[in-house]
Amino acid sequence: MWNFYLVRKERDWLILQASHPVFEGDDVDLRCRGKKEKDINEKIYYRNNKVIRRDYNSEVVRLHSVSRDNSKYHCTTSRESFWIRREEISKPLKIQVQELFPHPVLRASSSQPIEGSPVSLKCETWLPPLRSHIQLQFRFFREDKVLGSGWIDSPEFQILTMWNEDSGSYWCQAKAVTPNIIKKSLGSQIHVQRIPVSDVNLEIQSPGGQLIEGKDLVLICSVAKGTGTVTFSWHREGTERRLGRKVQRALSAELQIAAVRGQDAGRYYCSADNLYGPILSKRIRVTLRSPVSRPVLTVRAPRARAVVGDVVELRCETQSGSPPILYRFYHEDVTLGSSSAPSGGGVSFNLSLTTEHSGNYSCEANNSLGAQHSEAVPLRVTVPVSRPVLTFNPARAQVVVGDLLELRCEAQRGSPPILYWFNHEDVILGNTSAPFGGGASFNLSLTTEHSGNYSCGADNGLGVQRSYMVTLNLTGLSTNKVIHITVGIIGWLLSMLGLAATASLVSHFRTQRKSGGLRATGTPSYSPKEHREPSRSGPSNTDPHRPIHSEPAALMELQPVYSNVSPGHDNLVYSQIWSSHHTKENPAPSPKTHQKDEEPAIIYSEVKKAHPDDHEGQAHEDAAENYENLPCAPLALDR
């Protein structure tokens, strides 16, 4: 069977239609329609005479995201009529695609900003009213480098600081999120202007405002004007090598030198450069201050031992430390005074010593960088002895031979130990020491040779002091040798018997006196005991000088006892003699205790006359009778 094709271009039999309006990026529906759709078997769509789609059933063909490329579209179809196949062709259709948004324009707030200043960039474009709902995004570039983080929703971009190296071509992109249409702006040249550095200055910064040895030194170099990257460097005169170098975009920079020492002192300067040449600062002198070391306190006295009244020099000095230095002197914890050393070194403090100045001394040094305290130095102030006072004990108007006399010597002031010695006229009787101060005693058993002037001396190594003379007058024999033996004689007969016995006792007394006795000696004592005289209360109170008689129990006899008494005249001495009964078992009570109605015992005394030219004070005995009877008065017995 033969088929014949007839191509007929019947006007308007086949029409190609497109949706409108159309903006770039829109989807477009194409519809190819004939006068008799039932005769159409296949539809073919063309763009720029190229098949883009064959369709048998669909009435619409969709083109996605059309662009403004001026393409032409048409469609064709074939139909049969009376065994003849006819091909129909539509007229060409040129779709008018509108621009969704124009190419953006980049605008800068300044095309020649000053280095260090900010710049604002704006990517300007717009959407047609029919597509105002479409979201746009933007991206900014310098040369080929994206600025910021990429796509942003804002058409503006802020550059906070522009530097010289930021000069160049800037441009932007605008993009429709849906459909995906991207357009870029033209480039815009931005040239950053740099300002040369000027007024370079160097300053020193240190903790507490003072440059202290051993601490860190901070040198700050700054410029009043200047932009961009600045190169800072630090220098010290006399040193070719620079101390440090920093390159940074700032108007100041600092260099820290750790733990400066004395050799770091000198004149410092810095320089700054931002490609226009280095500019130097003025030179400043760096002087280090060092804390004081521990001071040493010395005490200078005019002699080996400091004495009350001496003026001692307290010298406080520290071996190192920047002036001015303030010194303080202490006695224990009490401040004595202070003194300043404006140029360094040490200072002195003079002290006139008193007894209260013994103790520990110290000093303190401070130059506002910290105080240092010296070690304590002890000082013992020695007090010279004062004039001692010599006293006698017992302190009676007159003492007699045989008494035990205590010589007491004591200085009211004086540092121990104190050495005391006792003098009789110019003869040293003895000496003793008071290791803890106070006085000392010397015990002397008196003899006839002990009358005269007495004195004592005291010395603690700071000079001898002597007491005033004290005169001692001795009279007769000592009452310490009296042994009171009483006899109870009642009645006239017993008195006569006593007279007869007296004669024999007197003879015995003379023999005993002429035989002499041992001489008394002195005994020194630091704490002497008080010498007590014998008591008349009875035999129970024993005297160390009293002889103890032991007789048979049945034997009773009269025993003579004597003692020397003075009625108050220097040339008369009486020897009292009396008798008492003694038994071993029943000792007789002393006749000193008389009743008021009893008649006192009769005392027989030997009378002697003392001659003034007798140097030894001995009485010359008269060859004639020298006895007389005296009543035993209570005052004569109670010695």
Tell me the pLDDT tens digit for each residue of 376-428: 999 999 899 999 999 998 877 678 888 899 999 999 998 899 999 999 998 99
- Is residue 384 assigned to a domain? no
Question: For the domain that residue 400 is a member of, what is the CATH number?
Answer: 2.60.40.10
Q: Is there a single domain that holds both residue 401 and residue 538? A: no
Q: Is residue 344 part of a domain?
A: yes
Residues 491 and 629 in one domain: yes
- For the ranges 67-76, 183-192, 334-343, the lowest mean pLDDT is seen at 67-76
* Residue 519 included in any domain: yes
User: For residue 262, what pLDDT is reported?
Assistant: 79
- Are 173 and 227 part of one and the same domain? no
DSSP letter (8 states) at residue 587: P
pLDDT tens digits along 80-91: 766 777 888 999
Contact status, residue 397 vs residue 350, Cβ threshold 8 Å:
no
| 598 Cβ neighbours under 8 A, 6+ residues apart | 490
Is residue 291 in some structural domain?
no
Partners of 153 in beta bridges:
none
Q: What is the pLDDT of residue 638?
A: 39
Confidence band of 636 (pLDDT split at 50, 70, 90):
very low
- 513 and 626: one domain? yes
pTM for the model stands at 0.44
Of the residues 286, 304, 321, the one at which a domain ends: 286
Residue 286 or residue 220, greater confidence: 220
* Selection from 585, 537, 535, 582 nearest residue 559 by Cα: 582
147-203 tens-digit pLDDT = 999 999 999 999 998 988 899 999 999 999 888 899 999 999 999 999 999 999 999
Range of the domain at 500: 479-637
- Residue 419 to residue 435: CA distance in whole angstroms: 8
pLDDT band, very low/low/confident/very high, at 617 (cuts 50, 70, 90): very low
Contact between 295 and 344 (Cβ < 8 Å):
no
Range 595-620 average pLDDT: 42
125 and 178 part of one domain: yes
Check residue 260 and give its pLDDT: 84
Number of independent structural domains in the chain: 6
Domain boundary among 357, 379, 401: 379
Indicate if 162 and 17 belong to the same structural domain. no
Alpha carbons 328 and 321: distance in angstroms, whole number: 16
In a domain, 460, yes or no: yes
Angle 589-594-598 (CA atoms, 0-180°, nearest 5)?
120
> Are 215 and 123 part of one and the same domain?
no
Pick from 379, 402, 426: which residue ends a domain?
379
Residues 327, 213, single domain; the answer is no
pLDDT tens per residue, range 18-29: 988 899 988 999
- Please report which confidence band the pLDDT of residue 270 belongs to, taking 50, 70 and 90 as the band edges: very high
pLDDT band at 348 (very low <50, low <70, confident <90, very high): very high
Using the predicted structure, report yes or no on whether residue 229 has a pLDDT greater than 60: yes
d(CA 137, CA 560): 156
| Domain-embedded: residue 579 | yes
Same domain, 34 and 112: no
Residue 358 lies in a domain: yes
Structure tokens, 285: 């002198």
Do both 573 and 627 map to the same domain?
yes
Lowest mean pLDDT among 261-265, 274-278, 310-314, 512-516: 512-516
Cis amide leading into 324 (omega within 30):
yes
Do 598 and 505 share a domain, yes or no?
yes
Q: What is the pLDDT of residue 141?
A: 97
The answer on 46 and 14 residing in a single domain is yes
Is residue 545 included in any domain, yes or no?
yes
d(CA 299, CA 363): 11
Per-residue pLDDT at 216: 85
pLDDT for residue 104 = 97
**From CA 109, how far away is CA 187, in angstroms rounded?**
15
| 3-class secondary structure per residue, 331-344 | ECCEEEEEEEECCC
Give mean pLDDT, residues 529-553: 35
User: Is the pLDDT reported for residue 575 higher than 60?
Assistant: no
